[in-house]
Chain A
Amino acid sequence: MPRHIIKPDDFTVQELDRIFDIASDIEKNPSKYAHACAGKKLATCFYEPSTRTRLSTEAAMLNLGGSVLGFSEATSSSAAKGETVADTAQVISCFADIMAIRHPKEGAAMVASLNASIPVINCGDGGHQHPTQTLTDLQTIRALKGRLNNFTIGLCGDLKYGRTVHSLIAALSRYEGIRFVFISPEELRVPDYITDMLDAKRIPYQLEERIEGSISTLDILYMTRIQRERFFNEEDYVRLKDFYILDAEKMKQARNDMFVLHPLPRVNEIAVEVDKDPRAAYFRQVQYGVYVRMALILTLLDIQVD
């Protein structure tokens, strides 16, 4: 039976550590891995547009010496003719050694994994799961801070609807000594099921409405975009939007060893002036995303590089 990644907790903390170790080794010795997947093919089955995730996954396979085939929108696939995800997964299994799928419907990657005879990577299924982004976030924190335990992370912006944030909280809740600070307007607070889970595990968290209130206590600040349409009315949006824009002035209150992460794309929630601050790590995060996807592909294909 092939191994898949449909959600981050499909792998134990120990297994994830192994993937992160491989990713760190790839960062140090990329040439060692340049031909690890020679002769292997990755199929990217993207039923909806995604520039970053698709290119990152394809770059990961190309860096490993493998090749890539696939489609980048549903209209150019058999889905337009009515083919089911289950059938497509079986067909793709005949063409490729591993498949990456993004689909607008929640659970589509799970269906693919139940029918494919090759490993399946979930690259986003609707608003449900996006495990490779979570692995990217964890790898970035681990590389920057040297650990995945005993730190305070602030998550700022739309904490209600952001699947990236929910996945990251769930993944970090498996590590020791994590403290969460949730910075958002009242309307966009983290869902109850998340705080229920944290309460059950006795993991400390605090709710804040402004970045200034807590930025000085943070080891990591994870920014997300607040969409105008998420607000109930225009006045609230106008009143609150600047609270969630990170600028050089707010960064003055942060510690020297705090890092700023963002899943990207950014709109205006991080002022461009912050980019040159050495604590701005969101573009390095993209690079870590490629390393961790390379490590994931090797792990799922069970390829060891000595």
Chain B
Amino acid sequence: MLNVGKIEEGLVLDHIKAGKSLAIYNHLGLDKLPYPVAIIKNARSNAMGKKDILKMECDPDLINLDVIAFIDPRITVNVIKNGEIVEKKALSLPSEVVNVISCTNPRCITSTEHSLPQIFTLADKKRMIYRCRYCEDRYHDRGDRSWYRK
């Protein structure tokens, strides 16, 4: 059994699909932050068989939970303070994601006016469909969530 020490303050992302923790790490931009991060791969899980876990020692407010929810709302987020879990956050699909994904519709105003924020709104919760706020084109995940579901 592998043991990774407790963190005093930060976040623990649990129930990450096995093998996908490094991709989540990259997607959250953790490689650019100067905080200690532990990546645990293929941990035993009763519910999932195997799972990945990410532990990061940082100010919890620095992490964009909407990005995690957008990628996989089944990931659980534990908020750690003074070495203890003080909150378990169940994620739900965000109603809006800003500057996480980009509209690929060549006729969209964002294709020519690059200073506009890329805003997507949740159009169908059941089918996890997001649409561009400006042109309403459906977001087809190419390279953002598709890698995660495989």
Q: Is the CB of A106 within 8 A of B108?
A: yes
B39 contacts partner chain A, Cβ-Cβ < 8 Å: no
Q: Contacts A103-B109, A105-B109 given; indicate if A110 touches B134 (C-beta within 8 A).
A: yes
Chain B contacts with A in 98-118, Cβ cutoff 8 A? 105, 107-113, 115-116
Query: Which chain B positions have C-beta within 8 A of A84?
Result: 113, 115
- Which one of B112, B134, B136, B137 has the greatest number of beta carbons of chain A within 10 Å? B134
Query: How far does the Cβ of B135 sit from chain A's closest Cβ, in whole Å?
Result: 4
Asked whether any CB of chain A lies closer than 8 Å to the CB of B133, the reply is yes
Question: A107-158: which have CB < 8 Å to B?
Answer: 107-108, 110-111, 125-128
A86 within 8 A of B: yes
Please name the residue on chain B nearest to A104 by beta carbon.
B107
**In the bound complex, do residue B116 and residue A126 qualify as a contact, i.e. CB atoms below 8 Å apart?**
no
Cα(A291)–Cα(B1), bound, Å: 77
Contact residues in B for A111 (Cβ distance below 8 Å): 109, 113, 116, 134
Interface residues on chain A, size class:
10 to 19
User: Is A85 in the interface zone, CB < 8 Å from B?
Assistant: yes
Which residues of chain A come closer than 8 Å to B137, judged between CB atoms?
106
Chain A residue nearest to B137 (CB atoms) is A106
Interface size on B, residues (CB 8 A): 16
Assembly CA distance A182 to B110 (angstroms): 33
Min CB distance A287 to B, Å, is 31
Question: What CA separation (Å) do A106 and B132 show in the bound complex?
Answer: 10
Pick the contact of A126: B107, B113, B132, B133 (CB < 8 A): B107
CA distance A195 to B80 in the complex (A): 49
Q: Mark B112-143, 1 if CB is under 8 A from A, else 0.
A: 11011000000000000000111111000000
Q: Cβ of A110: which chain B residues have Cβ within 8 Å of it? A: 109, 133-134
- Complex CA gap A125/B111 in Å reads 14
Complex formed: what's the CA distance from A243 to B134 in Å? 37
Min CB distance, A88 to chain B, in Å?
Answer: 11
Which residues of the partner chain B approach A127 to less than 8 Å between Cβ atoms?
Answer: 107
Give the nearest-CB partner of A106 in chain B.
B135
Contacts of A105 in B (CB 8 A): 107-109, 111-113, 135
**Which partner residue on chain A sits nearest B132 by CB separation?**
A107
- Bound-complex Cα distance A103 to B113 (A): 13
Q: Are A106 and B113 in contact (CB under 8 A)?
A: no
A128–B113 CB distance below 8 A:
no
Given contacts A107-B134, A107-B135, contact A86 B108 (CB under 8 A): no
Residues of A within 8 A of B105 (CB): 106
A79 shortest CB reach to chain B, Å: 10
Q: Are A107 and B115 in contact (CB under 8 A)?
A: no
Chain A, range 27-68, C-beta contacts under 8 Å to B: none
Q: With both chains docked as a complex, state the minimum distance between the C-beta of B136 and any C-beta of chain A, in angstroms.
A: 7
Interface residues of B, Cβ cutoff 8 Å to A: 105, 107-113, 115-116, 132-137
A-B pairs with beta carbons under 8 Å apart, 26 shown: A84-B113, A85-B109, A105-B107, A105-B108, A105-B111, A105-B112, A105-B113, A106-B107, A106-B108, A106-B109, A107-B109, A107-B133, A107-B134, A107-B136, A108-B109, A108-B134, A110-B109, A110-B133, A111-B113, A111-B134, A125-B109, A125-B135, A126-B135, A127-B107, A128-B135, A128-B136
